[in-house]
Each structure stands twice: as C-alpha cells, then as structure tokens.
Amino acid sequence: MTMNKSSKNHTCIICGKDYHSCDSCNQIASFTPWRIICDTLEHYQIYLVILDYQQNKINKEEAQMMLHNIGVNVNTIDNFKPSVSDLLKDILSEDNSEPEIGDGM
C-alpha cells in the first residue's frame, strides 16, 4: 500500500516549488483558495501584484511600492521561477530618481 499523504499535487506559480494542498478543502472554501495557486500567502500577494501589473491596472511604480510592502526585494526573488524573477527584477530595478544613460532608445 502506497498512500503518500504528503504528495505534492501543486506547484507554486511564483517560486515553482511543489507543495501539497488538499483539493477537497479548497473546494469547500468560500473564499479564493490561494492555496491552489501558491504555497505561501506572500507568494500569492506577489502573484496578485504581477497580475494587476500585466493587466495595466497598476503602473510599475505602484507595483514596486506594493512589492516593497510585501517585503520583496531583489535579494529575495532569486529563488523564484526565472520568468517571475525577471519580471520582478524589471519592476524593482525601476529607478525613479535618475534617468538611464546610454540606453539608445
């Protein structure tokens, strides 16, 4: 009998980590079951920021501020999935104080 109770049946959309989440629990929950998208609430909050940003509901500055509020910085995003980490780096690297020099656009 192989009854693996801790079977990883979900993958976090942010960090790509496999985790276990009870599907029947998620189904009876009346609130948004963030557990089916991310392994931690923090990662789900990051996911929401990215979603809003990609849908142009918030601009880069706002996204950056929200990420700061969650406690996200360039040092904490290296463990995330490459696509997520690249996007977050792009948002977080936005420097509002100085214009970039040498970018031939």
User: Could you list the residues that contact Zn ion (CB under 5 A)?
Assistant: 12, 14-15, 39, 43
Q: CB-wise, 66 or 84, nearer to Zn ion? A: 84
Least distance from C-beta 72 to Zn ion, angstroms?
12
Q: CB-wise, 18 or 23, nearer to Zn ion? A: 18
Structure tokens at 104: 């031939």
Using DSSP, state whether 45 is helix, strand or coil: helix
- C-alpha 81: how far from its chain's center? 9
Using DSSP, state whether 78 is helix, strand or coil: coil
Least distance from C-beta 39 to Zn ion, angstroms?
4
Q: CB-wise, 8 or 59, nearer to Zn ion? A: 8
Q: CB-wise, 35 or 43, nearer to Zn ion? A: 43
Would you call 3 exposed, middle or buried from its count of C-beta atoms within 10 A (0-12, 13-18, 19+)? exposed
Least distance from C-beta 14 to Zn ion, angstroms?
5
Least distance from C-beta 2 to Zn ion, angstroms?
27
Q: Are 19 and 10 in contact (CB under 8 A)?
A: yes
